[in-house]
Structure 1
């Protein structure tokens, strides 16, 4: 067991207990902290408290961090949409609604579960939970991912991401009509200090983030854009488009509540290109827009 003790000073007086604890370690999300509070492994002055407890000066907070859950990731037969595969790499078109890799509390039904049933070998660099996973896309984002089947391929693909030579183009429907045809958003992204489950443009504990976009079509209240990632930060396109005033349609975290009828953000990773780790040949793949995305597009086209 790992025990953390915190003495509340005048600066922290009046702050919620979950906010105080999540500020101690940036790896602890407020949701995770709230779970610990509900499990009664957080004590204030030797007493259990609720998640909305407001700290008082000189409070003694004791957190007993539980041992990590033992994870056993099992292979699951799935009808994966494989675009390319050889001894080194695999390119798969991930459907909307599928999580890329397992996590505590969500160990089944992920892309990794399906890949483990499909492949005998995957790169082990990212450990048991993320075998072969070089990069990821959000649960409600559809589209293409490259997967490494051995460590040589993994290291090569990661280096290409670092060198910014991988082609990653997304289509998105955003709220509002963008007047300029092209644009570049160069704004650092880090965790939101209020909501640790969200990302935001900030100069505090952030990383450089660059998104290029161009307008494909304009409608009465919406714009269809293609975004090209130069970097690959968490929620990058979603955060950047909101930052410039054009949040993604259907985005439950960064978009408006009143939006078009779509289950999650209208974002599709349609084009993926990279240099093959062994042959050095440039490979590029394109996946068509999923049906739900096309239906929303037709809806706004008919209303303009």
Structure 2
């Protein structure tokens, strides 16, 4: 296979196709060292041209003699920044964001600071005729990965088959105290009281059954860094279950014990993997564990 030629204006690398293959498959073979996620992001970010024409379809048929140009510069159509969230993936149907702590997933009451509003402003600024549709939520003080759909049909497709669509979703938390067991499972029923405090019961209390699997990544005498995988997605599930274990999430003013080494709720949604609701391609995303979680071990 030919090596890329000289970089042209616009900073593209050029390749000549020498065998038939779907575009994504060919790109993965050719762009050795590039991750599948990065190649897909370049494709969806309009960074691939075939014979001079921008192509975004994974299965676009390539034939010998065609010229493929790969952008080495911006993956996205525009440069855009927000102090509250970072867009880690975007295509015509959805966006995946990395949310900071301190911002709501969607509007609630009189509060105007929320991710949906920030994304709607971004769509308007980039002249995209769409709005952000909430598919799932993170607590205001929880950071990490979230999906927003760009249209109602995509939102419904994600919501209706959420547990099959999302095949890996994990959180990491800094919890109070030294956890003894390396791993385990907490399972009980969760229900809100009249003050909207979620409480647990070992027997059915009319609430929802909740299952949390945990694995200790690192520990000290004062704190433990723990990975959580949710089998169910109930309100405040990790926060209540860690409190049940006697090791509440640090910085949790609702269910915690006053241990607040980072000045924030130390809960982060760091891994999110799902099948695309339209293309059905598997997408995998991971964000770094916040540094201040690790520093306080």
TM over 0.5: yes
Shift of 1:237: 0.4
Give matches, 1:28-107, under 5 Å.
78=82, 80-106=85-111
Tell me, in whole angstroms, the C-alpha distance in 2 between the residues paired with 1:121 and 1:274.
25
Query: What is the Cα deviation at residue 248 of structure 1?
Result: 0.7
Deviations 1:117-170 (A, max 9, x none): 1224556xxxxxxx5111011111100001111222212211332447442111
TM-aligned CA deviation for residue 230 of structure 1? 1.4
Per-residue CA deviations over 1:74-120 (Å, capped at 9, x if unaligned) read xxx945400101011110000011111111221x2211110111224
Which residue of the partner structure matches residue 113 of structure 1?
117
Distance 1:226 1:121, change over 3 A: farther
Match status 1:299 vs 2:296? yes
Instruction: Give 1:211's aligned residue.
Output: 212
- Whose strand fraction is larger, Structure 1's or Structure 2's? 2
Q: Which runs of 5+ in 2 are unaligned?
A: 1-80
Aligned to 2:289: 289
Distance change in 2, residues 1:261/1:223 (3 Å): closer
**How is 1:159-198 mapped onto 2 (pairs within 5 angstroms)?**
159-163=160-164, 165-193=166-194, 196-198=195-197
TM, length-normalised to structure 1: 0.65
Deviations 1:168-221 (A, max 9, x none): 11110111222221111111211035xx22111133331111111101011012
Kindly report which structure 2 residues correspond to 1:231-250, keeping only aligned pairs within 5 A, or say none: 231-250=232-251
